[in-house]
Each structure stands twice: as C-alpha cells, then as structure tokens.
Amino acid sequence: MPARLPGAFKFNPLRLHGKQLHDFCTLKELPETYAWEPVDCHGHHSGDCGTTRVEPVPVVDLYDPNAERLIGHACKTWGAFQIINHEIPRRLLDDVESASRRLFSLPLRQKLRAARDPDGVTGYGPAPISSFFSKQMWSEGFTIFGSPLEHARQLWPSNYMRFCDIIEEYSREMQRLAGKLVWLMLGSLGITKEDIQLPGPEAGYREASAALQLNSYPACPDPDRAVGLAAHTDSTLITILHQNGTGGLQLFREGCGWVTVPPLAGGLVINVGDLLHILSNGLYPSVLHRAMVNRTRHRLSVAYLYGPPRDVLISPVSKVVEPGRVPLYRPVSWSEYLGIKAKHFRNALSLVRLCSHAHANGGVIDANVSDSCAR
Ligand SMILES: C=C1C[C@]23C[C@H]1CC[C@H]2[C@@]12CCC[C@@](C)(C(=O)O1)[C@H]2[C@@H]3C(=O)O
Ligand SMILES: O=C(O)CCC(=O)C(=O)O
Ligand SMILES: [Fe+2]
C-alpha cells in the first residue's frame, strides 16, 4: 500500500469552472470544451516526429550486467526508458489492469460516489492538473494515497476486497522496484548511501511515499482534436508506468518533438521526475510527457508515483555538483514541492531554483555571477 503523504497540497480539480463531467461512452461527437488547439500551449509542434527517422526510447534489460550504466545514459539523454526483466509478475500487471477496467466501467453516477473531495487529492475525477487548462481532457482518473478502502467500499459496497488486495500487492511490488531503480540511477551518478538519506535495500526500500494513479482514456470520436492528459512533468523521483496494449504516451525530445513510447508486452516505462532532476542538479532532467487518445480503443494506464519519505529534504547531492558549478536548487520536501506544483504547475521547478544565471544542464556558472549564487 503506498505510504501516506502529508496533505499539504490541493489541486482541487473537481472545481470544474463551468465544465461538466461526462459519461464518455454517451458522447458520439467531441464537445467543444474537449477540442484543443493543434499546437499546445508550450508552442511545441503537435504530433509525432514526422517522417524523420526517430530513435526509439531506450529499453533496458534489468538482467544486463551493464544495466546501471545504460540507465544512467537513458536518464541523461531521454529522461525516460522502458524496462524488461523487472520481475513484476505478468499476472499482477494483468490484475491491476482489470481492477482498473472494472472501476472505470462503472456508470458515472456510481463512480461519483468515490469522487475526489473538493480539498482532497484521492478518489475519482479528472486528472488533478485539469484545473490549469481551459479545455477538458479526454480521460478520467482515480488517485490512491494509502489505503483505497474507503473509496472502494463506496464503489462496491459488498465486493471491495479484491480491488484493495490487488492495489496493495501492486503497490508493494512497485515500491521495491522503484527503490531498486532509484539506487541504480543514483549509482550511475556515483552517489552512495553515505551521500543521501533515502530508503535502501536493508529496509526493503520501505518508508518511501508514493501515489498510485489509475488513468482511463476512452475511445474518442475525434482523437486529433482531443488530448488525453496534457503535457506535464511528474513531481516525483521517478514514475513507473504500466500501459495496456494501446499506445498513447508521448515524450518530448528537444530537437525532435513528440515521440511515442510503443507499448512493450510486459514492459514498464520509467520517467525521471522533478525531484530526481533537483537531486541530480539537472543532470537527469525530468521528462515532459503527455497522453494522446485514439478512435477505437480504450486505453488504460497505471502510474506509480514514487517520492522520498515525508520529512526528507531533497537537494542537489554535493557529489554531482562539480567544482566550478553551483547547486541549482534549494532543499525541498516532497509535500512542499507538491504544494508548489498544485499552485504553480509548470513554474514549480523554476520556483525552487536558486541561481537563474547558471546554465540549465549541470549548473555551469560564469565567473561574474558566481558570487550572487547561494551555495
Ligand atoms: C503525488 C502526486 C503527483 C501528482 C499529484 C499527486 C497525485 C496525483 C499525481 C498526478 C497523476 C497524473 C498526472 C499529474 C501531473 C496529475 O495531474 O496528478 C500527477 C501529479 C504530479 O506528478 O505532479
Ligand atoms: O497514461 C499515460 O501514458 C501517462 C500517464 C501519466 O503521465 C501520469 O499518470 O502521470
Ligand atoms: Fe505523468
């Protein structure tokens, strides 16, 4: 079960600002409130990399003796990769997918019994970041922190245990995998457990905080004008994403544009989040990503959003801040960072940044401004 996180943040996505929650299967045409402009608000070109040959997102085999180095390279160049041989049983991936399908197939009025509280973060509703956009996203979500028991009881009054058992087992397995991956990433930066206070293998990687986000993207009558989940970076150390056989996840790559991550049977997608970005002083940048929808297939994804224990402050590890460079970010806890993200969304990372003169990658500074940067 994901550990509980202090409730210092409120995305408040059920305040819909005049928008309406829809039962997607009743919509035969795309309502105007779901029709997005072809170029997103980042000014990024929409769509894939056109006809140019696109390098695929790296796939790392965790049994490969070079896994640590390959992961380090993927984090630096992509901020994301897929993994195979991760030892999460296929049966568990199928179980969490069917539990999620079972939830989202309920009639809307029944799902609304587990609606997210106006000032809470768990439960059913549009993606928490929806409130930052004037258009609606073609998706619905269910957010879990700690136990889903209360909400599951509201959804299935006499038949809720199976859902809870699957979520608990999945979270436990993800916690172990996420801990292991974070240590491989830290290892690839030369960081050891003397350098940082994060849950390690001795304690079975427990004590970390995490959220689980079930995402559902119903088939859409006009997919080219709709957006499943708008472009964002995750406010995590890392995110582990399981997507069902239907693609839709895209990563933004500098100099290339949006690149689709093809579903890999039994594979899992790993994204670098903002806290690993901070910890690595920008060497492993968090990846901008989004989810697109399609005309015929219902897409499901399950995101395990992994962060540090509640009271641990995350700041650039001095080992990765080389001589002649400065730490680019001030210390911040996960709950504080989530609060900043919930209020300022895209500007969250720059709001915890210390030295605006330094270059984005690795904190190289020019001698004239180094004195004005806090160390
Ligand atoms: C622990 C987290 C991380 C959250 C907020 C909170 C619970 C739900 C997560 C997501 C999941 C969907 C994308 C995102 C952007 C969103 O809208 O809600 C994520 C957000 C973040 O990574 O910032
Ligand atoms: O559904 C997807 O592919 C992306 C989901 C995602 O980015 C998230 O839950 O944070
Ligand atoms: Fe995400």
Secondary structure (DSSP) of 102-171:
HHHTS-HHHHGGGBPPTT---EEES-GGGGG-SSPPS-EEEEESS--HHHHHHHSTT--HHHHHHHHHHH
Is residue 216 within a helix (H) or strand (E), and if so which, with residue range? strand 209-217
Residue 194 lies in a domain: yes
- Residue 20 near residue 190 (C-beta atoms within 8 A): no
**Structure tokens, 103:** 């939830």
Residue 214: what pLDDT? 98
Distance, in Å, from the CA atom of 278 to the CA atom of 329, rounded to the nearest integer, reads 6
ipTM greater than cut 0.90 = yes
Report which ligand 1 atom has the smallest distance to the Cα of 210.
1
Whole-number Å distance, alpha carbon 197 to ligand 2 midpoint, is 28
Report which ligand 1 atom has the smallest distance to the Cα of 213.
11
CATH number at residue 235: 2.60.120.330
Residue 342 lies in a domain: no
Residue 87 lies in a domain: yes
The alpha helices in the chain, defined as continuous H runs, are 67-77, 90-104, 108-111, 149-155, 161-188, 274-279, 334-344, 348-351
- Residue 200 near residue 180 (C-beta atoms within 8 A): no
Structural domains in the chain (count): 1
Residue 287: what pLDDT? 98
Residue 39 lies in a domain: no
Residue 199: what pLDDT? 78
Residue 157: what pLDDT? 95
* Number of the ligand closest to the Cα of 126: 1
Whole-number Å distance, alpha carbon 128 to ligand 1 midpoint, is 6
Residue 43: what pLDDT? 47
Residue 352 lies in a domain: no
Residue 32: what pLDDT? 93
Whole-number Å distance, alpha carbon 187 to ligand 2 midpoint, is 26
Structural domain that includes position 107: 52-316
Residue 117: what pLDDT? 85
Residue 101: what pLDDT? 98
Residue 195 lies in a domain: yes
Which residues have any ligand 2 atom within 6 Å of their CB? 213, 215, 229, 234, 239, 241, 243, 248-249, 289, 291, 301, 303
Query: DSSP states of 281-310 as a string?
Result: TTSSPPPPEEE---SS--EEEEEEEEE--T
Task: Record the pTM.
Answer: 0.91
Residue 53: what pLDDT? 60
Residue 373: what pLDDT? 41
Residue 122: what pLDDT? 95
Whole-number Å distance, alpha carbon 290 to ligand 2 midpoint, is 7
Q: Is 216 in the pocket of ligand 1 (CB under 6 A)?
A: no
Q: What are phi and psi of 264, to 5 degrees?
A: -120, 120
Q: What is the pLDDT along the chain (375 residues), one digit of tens a residue?
A: 444 454 445 554 444 555 677 889 888 999 999 999 875 544 444 555 444 567 899 999 999 999 999 999 999 999 999 999 999 999 999 999 999 999 999 999 999 999 998 778 899 999 999 999 999 999 999 999 999 999 999 999 999 999 999 999 999 999 999 999 999 999 999 999 999 888 777 776 777 799 999 999 999 999 999 999 999 999 999 999 999 999 999 999 998 899 999 999 999 999 999 999 999 999 999 999 999 999 999 999 999 999 999 889 999 999 999 878 899 999 999 999 999 999 999 999 999 999 655 444 444 554 433 333 433
Residue 304 lies in a domain: yes
Distance, in Å, from the CA atom of 270 to the CA atom of 305, rounded to the nearest integer, reads 10
Task: Mark whether 91 is an active-site residue.
Answer: no
Residue 78 lies in a domain: yes
Neighbours of 249 (CB within 10 A): 23
